[in-house]
Structure 1
Amino acid sequence: MIPSNYVEKVYAGYLGMNVGIRLGAPVEPTHWTYERIYQTYGDIKDYVKPFKNFAADDDANGPYYFLRALYDDAKDRDITPNDVARAWLNYSREGVGMFWWGGYGVSTEHTVYVNLKRGIPAPQSGSIRQNGLIVAEQIGGQIFIDTWGLITPGNPKKAADLGEAAARVSHDGEGVLGARFFCAAISKAFETSNIEEIIAAGLAQIPAESTYSKVAHAVLDFHKEHPDDFRACREMLERDWGYDKYTGVCHIIPNAGVCVLAMIYGQGDFNRTVEIATMCSWDTDCNAGNVGTVLGVACGVDGIADHYRQPINDSIVMSGISGYLNILDIPTYAKELSILGYRMAKEPCPQWLADSYKEDEIYFDFELPGSTHNIRVSDPYLCRAKHSEEMAYQGKASLEIVFDRMARPQNAKVYYKPFYTRDEFNDERYSPTFAPKAYPGQKVSMQVYLDQWSGNEAMGIAPYIRLASSKKELVQGYIKLIDKEWLHVEFTIPDAEGELIDEVGIVLEAYSPAKFKSMGRIFIDEFRISGPSEYHIDFAKQQINFGCVTPFSHNHGAWSLEQDAMYLMTADPAEAYTGNYFAKDYSVAVRINPQYGSSHLVAVRAQGAMRGYHAGLDEDGEVSLYINHFGYKKLAGRKFAWELDREYDVRVTVQGSTITLAIDGEELIQHEDDTFAYGMYGVSTLGAARTYFRDIRLTERA
């Protein structure tokens, strides 16, 4: 039976995972020894690095992207290792992002990816027989599985089985037991906050004679004798279970010991648990992330300290192949996970939950406790944002913006970030790439309520967007608010002049003169960005970010900006993807100038590296349409005498099951295929090529 507070618990668990990852990540590298962490930071009680925005991490990527096997293959049955293996291949950009590409035979994940690419199926791809004991028993089997526990509340056995199936893609032996333990522990945490019961539920799902079970019991036994000294327990782990005994880059056994240590010495306190996991060194972000999920579920959002929660602001970025999916709103994802949880339990999903989740648009209702949906303010001196249950347009909550002593012509922006650029990050952890979550032509709407405390004029707002490269703000007409009334605000996102949009919101402006300074609050509810888009990408206004041309995610090839174009040079097949991952019916046009090679294509309805359609200029003087479904297959083609160093206007349209290719206005191919109903767009080649891609134009159909 799904618990009544299920969605809130999922939200807390996923928040907890990301708090732990963010806390542990700065001290993860091997030169951050246990002693150095203590000497540098002492008794950790807060984040040790003030990130601008926290960049993607493998510990977050895996649980997010590998779970998509439930959408792609295991839609109506339990997953198999092969289902998850297909997600590995589909959502990863080879050699960059997703996980650590440390070399074949060194990095478990890199080794397994190569095995899968070479046709070695899961679970053989991660087996001891294939890769040897050391590679198979590293920590990855434990760190990529939290979401399987979150979608199986109160069912530790089911959670453990799902976690094992996912982990067997890449791990074996003790490496798989970590997945079973943590998925079961997360599942049990929906039923109890008693940490001893939670640990016991995890251990019940692994063999008692296993090394994983033995290190866990060594920690539990030590805790009984020394219940107040976690550092003494850490010394015991170093002596009896350390990296000198369990070799490789990051073996699961020492880290399993740390995880059990953090949970038992944390004694059910979320904050102390993730702090201890971080102070104990070894794989700090993985360990703090795993225990953060368990304790997040067990303690709920109220157990997560504000100083850990506020910097996250409900947002995390990923580094998979979809720049659109890489921008994640945590409350929205908690709802998505909860819907999957009802599906897995074969229970009907509550209608309110189904209605509150929109996979293909932005919809923020602020209903989850403390949620902010990554809404920001430009001037924290004049304004501050917080969750509120005092006022709501519908439901029980909204976002409250307090404005303090504002006078004409002061203003402050209240906005959502639908896109990021490299300068908004401190580092390049796992090289995230982004496609905007907001585009010209879409509708932005919200409900706004004014509660003004002082000032002789009511406050006003003006909808606006900001362009990512030029930082130009396109401000709409001002609207005067009415005190103590809800006002429906709606506008169409204007043409972005070939740029991308990195802010969408309102400008809050005081109309009162200085002697009558305005104070009070506005409340925002039912924030949406929805509807079909129509826009173009001017490459003269784009940047190279994280090794990619904005707003694309590149897979293979050398890509650059040249002559107001995105330029590709490659010796092998290569692709670049962008756009709304869930876009259905649309037309994409690209001016293509082939310089070398026999394949210069436009991609549509691409769902990753292994799923989608590709159409355009092909070998032997042809145009062709291909489907990529874990391998390319030609669907249609016809003769067309195209030439090198000549520019063509290539347009591909998808409408229902109909795919149409036109060049310079002439329709050349029309084909019916219903394999893929939605997906990104982009450009690609099936072989060695040099190509200029210019002036991409996208038109969605309602």
Structure 2
Amino acid sequence: MIPDNYMEKLYAGWLGKLIGVRFGAPIEGWSYEQIEKTYGEVEDYLVDYREFAADDDSNGPMFFLRALEDYGLNATAEEMGLTWLNYAPYEHGFYWWGGYGNSTEHTAYLNLRSGIPAPRSGSVEQNGAAVAEQIGGQIFIDTWGLVNPAAPERAADYARRAASVSHGGNGVYGGMFVAACISAAFCETEIGTVLRKGLSVIPEDCEYRRVAEDLIAYHQAHPENWREAFAYVKANYGYDRYPGACHIIPNSAVMVLSMLYGQGDFSKTLCICNMCGWDTDCNVGNVGCILGTLCGLEGIENRWRKPLNDAFVCSSVMGSLNSMDVPSCVTYIASLAYRIAGETYPERWRAHLEGNAARFHFDLPGSTQGFRVAMEQEQPEESLLSNWDGALKAVVKRLLRPGYAFRVFRKTHYHPEDFHDSRYDPCFSPQLYPGQTLSVRVKAESGPLLSAALYVRNRQELLKAEPEVLNAGDWTLLRYRIPALPCGCIEEAGVLFTALDGWNGTAVVLLDDMDYSGVPDYSVDFNRESVENWSPSHREISQFTYLKGIWRLEDGVLSGSCADFGETYTGGREWTDYRFTASLCPILGEAHRMNFRVQGAVRSYALELSEKGLLRLCKNRNGYEILAECSFPWETGKWHSLTAELRGAEIRVLSEGKELLRYTDGDAPYLSGCIGASVAGGSHCHYRDFIVAPVTIE
């Protein structure tokens, strides 16, 4: 049975993971001696990040879990391997791309791309023990424990399949152990019991279990001094004894040590784990998830939670999915968990788990979901955001006179300059688009008379609805349809509050149930886009993310070319029925595509200007299949306008208003997805006039 407090414990577990990653990231790869000499005792975050960039430790868990959505609740190892190909860009972002035979993930990814399916792709037999037994088998595994609460054996079975995509031997056993520990932490109260349940799912004679049991015995004999225990680990299971860039055994020893000597205390455990060094973000992230789940929200001090503000970013190939918030992840994981367990959704959370609640609901204790507050005038900002009985509470001081205003908002798009660094190369498409409708409930609790207006920032332009005067103590529902826009790029959305009276006052307002819906109505003008430099080796076209290929801007158009295959995407993964129009100008080759209903790198539809003057409707299922085709006398060096109209499983293809094809996909159709462009086989193509609009009623 799923525990009654599952949602809260799940929330604490995923928060613990993200806290651990953020805590350990600045000293990743350091030794204990380096850490002690530089910082002394590490007891809090070491860096005050402007924005914490993406990390492989959070990329993997959230995106690999999508195998259950894309391929079913009992997804196989092979299907989990396809999930790798679907969401990870080719040799940039997401993982450490350290070279074939050096980086385990890089090795497995190229195996998968070459047609070697999982679990062979990660096996000892394929790659050798030194590659297969690196740390990645456990660092990406947390969500398999979170999605199987109080079911360690089942969690371990999912983890075995997931870890085997890239690892073998102890690399897989580590994933099974961590997932089982997280699962057990939902129903146990003692860390010792959690560890025993975690070890029970892996073979008795494997090295991973032998090392862990050795440390348990050492702790029983020497329970006081964790530093002496670490000296024992370093002497017997140190990096010098294991091959590869980051072997799982030394790091697993540090994890077990920290949980034993941390005695079930969240902060103490994370600090010990971080002080030991080695692969700190990975180790502290795994331990943070186990301890967060075990201790619950009440066991995590606010000093750990506040800098996160419930937000984190990723670097998948799907840009609109890369800006995340923790409560939304909790809802996503829980919706799968109840289905796996065959249990009905609890009434308290039914609307959330069925997808009928607002995106930003603030119903989880202490949640803020990445919202911020900012003043409109030049003055010292004195503000506070917090959760107040299931709503977002903003306290803003020093509204000096009538006309002073402040914004409570959420970022819906990011740029490189927003971040402290470019670790793991995050990349983004907006989450919100012109033509969609925003809604929110607001209430003025105290302070001066206020007006409130929903607004969005389209690049540098602020667009807003007509303001409404708030009656103190009463909830007011605000709605705003963002106007259709050329060159749309919505960067933030929220509520603009303006003081209508008072002097030097303090405003207290509440927000709840902020949501957005509807079909986009906008265009992309490549004259307005730019090349964004995330690092010397990683560049993206603004609003777009790319899988592979050369994508650049030339004289106001998008240029794409490749040696084998190249793809780039923008828009929302959740878009369903829409009309997408693009203009293509083939330069070289015979495979020039506009993509739609893109769900990732191996799941999409495309219209292709193909050889012999053909127009083909294709479906990408880890390779493009022809669904239908017709004659279309396209020419190199000339522009051709194509439109795809999408209604459920039906795809209607037009050019200049004339219908060319109509096809209904009856074989597991893709019913949602974003837009993009792709080329193949050495082709080179130019693109302009990307236009997305609602489908007209026939």
TM-score range, shorter chain: over 0.9
Structure 1 residues 401-410 or 180-189, which shifts more?
401-410
Paired residue for 1:625?
Answer: 617
Contact 1:441 1:494 (8 Å CA) reproduced: yes
Paired residue for 2:417?
Answer: 423
The 1:224–1:496 alpha-carbon spacing in structure 2 relative to 1, beyond 3 Å, is: farther
Residue type of the alignment partner of 1:355: A
Contact 1:34 1:280 (8 Å CA) reproduced: yes
Residue type of the alignment partner of 1:531: G
Residue type of the alignment partner of 1:462: A
Paired residue for 1:70?
Answer: 68
For the residue of structure 2 that corresponds to 1:324, the secondary structure is helix
For the residue of structure 2 that corresponds to 1:93, the secondary structure is coil
| Residue 551 of structure 2 corresponds to residue 551 of structure 1 | no
| Residue 686 of structure 2 corresponds to residue 688 of structure 1 | no
For the residue of structure 2 that corresponds to 1:688, the secondary structure is coil
Contact 2:560 2:679 (8 Å CA) reproduced: no
TM-score normalised over the length of structure 2: 0.95
Residue type of the alignment partner of 1:642: W
Aligned to 2:487, which of 485, 498, 501?
Answer: 498
Residue type of the alignment partner of 2:392: L
The alpha carbon displacement at 1:584 in A equals 1.3
Paired residue for 1:565?
Answer: 557
| Residue 203 of structure 2 corresponds to residue 207 of structure 1 | yes
Contact 1:587 1:698 (8 Å CA) reproduced: yes
The alpha carbon displacement at 1:357 in A equals 4.4
Counterpart CA distance in 2 for 1:501 and 1:184 is 42
TM-score normalised over the length of structure 1: 0.95
Paired residue for 2:237?
Answer: 241
For the residue of structure 2 that corresponds to 1:244, the secondary structure is helix
Contact 2:262 2:272 (8 Å CA) reproduced: yes
Counterpart CA distance in 2 for 1:231 and 1:680 is 52
Paired residue for 2:157?
Answer: 161
For the residue of structure 1 that corresponds to 2:204, the secondary structure is coil
| Residue 500 of structure 2 corresponds to residue 511 of structure 1 | yes
Residue segments in structure 1 that go unaligned for 5+ positions in a row:
390-396
Structure 1 residues 99-108 or 378-387, which shifts more?
378-387
Aligned to 1:538, which of 520, 525, 545?
Answer: 525
The alpha carbon displacement at 1:657 in A equals 1.8
Residue type of the alignment partner of 1:402: V
Q: How does 1:210-609 map to 2 (within 5 A)?
A: 210-357=206-353, 363-379=359-375, 381-389=381-389, 397-406=390-399, 407-453=401-447, 455=448, 458-468=449-459, 471-513=460-502, 516-545=503-532, 546=534, 547-609=539-601
Counterpart CA distance in 2 for 1:79 and 1:265 is 37
For the residue of structure 2 that corresponds to 1:506, the secondary structure is strand
Residue type of the alignment partner of 2:581: A
Kindly provide the CA deviation profile for residues 210-268 of structure 1, in whole angstroms up to 9, marking residues without a partner as x.
21122212322232333332222111111110111111011000000010011111111
Counterpart CA distance in 2 for 1:230 and 1:413 is 48
The alpha carbon displacement at 1:301 in A equals 1.4
The alpha carbon displacement at 1:352 in A equals 4.3
Paired residue for 2:649?
Answer: 657
For the residue of structure 2 that corresponds to 1:3, the secondary structure is coil
The alpha carbon displacement at 1:361 in A equals 9.5
Counterpart CA distance in 1 for 2:488 and 2:556 is 13
Q: How does 1:129-144 map to 2 (within 5 A)?
A: 129-144=125-140
Counterpart CA distance in 2 for 1:257 and 1:68 is 30
Counterpart CA distance in 2 for 1:362 and 1:39 is 49
Paired residue for 1:614?
Answer: 606
Contact 1:360 1:580 (8 Å CA) reproduced: no
Paired residue for 1:392?
Answer: none
CA RMSD of superposed structures (Å): 1.7
The 1:332–1:212 alpha-carbon spacing in structure 2 relative to 1, beyond 3 Å, is: same
Contact 2:563 2:680 (8 Å CA) reproduced: no
Counterpart CA distance in 1 for 2:266 and 2:694 is 45
Counterpart CA distance in 2 for 1:278 and 1:463 is 43
Counterpart CA distance in 2 for 1:416 and 1:59 is 24
Counterpart CA distance in 2 for 1:304 and 1:561 is 47
Kindly provide the CA deviation profile for residues 343-366 of structure 1, in whole angstroms up to 9, marking residues without a partner as x.
111111224424124769961111
Counterpart CA distance in 2 for 1:352 and 1:574 is 46
Aligned residues: 684
| Residue 638 of structure 2 corresponds to residue 646 of structure 1 | yes
| Residue 189 of structure 2 corresponds to residue 193 of structure 1 | yes
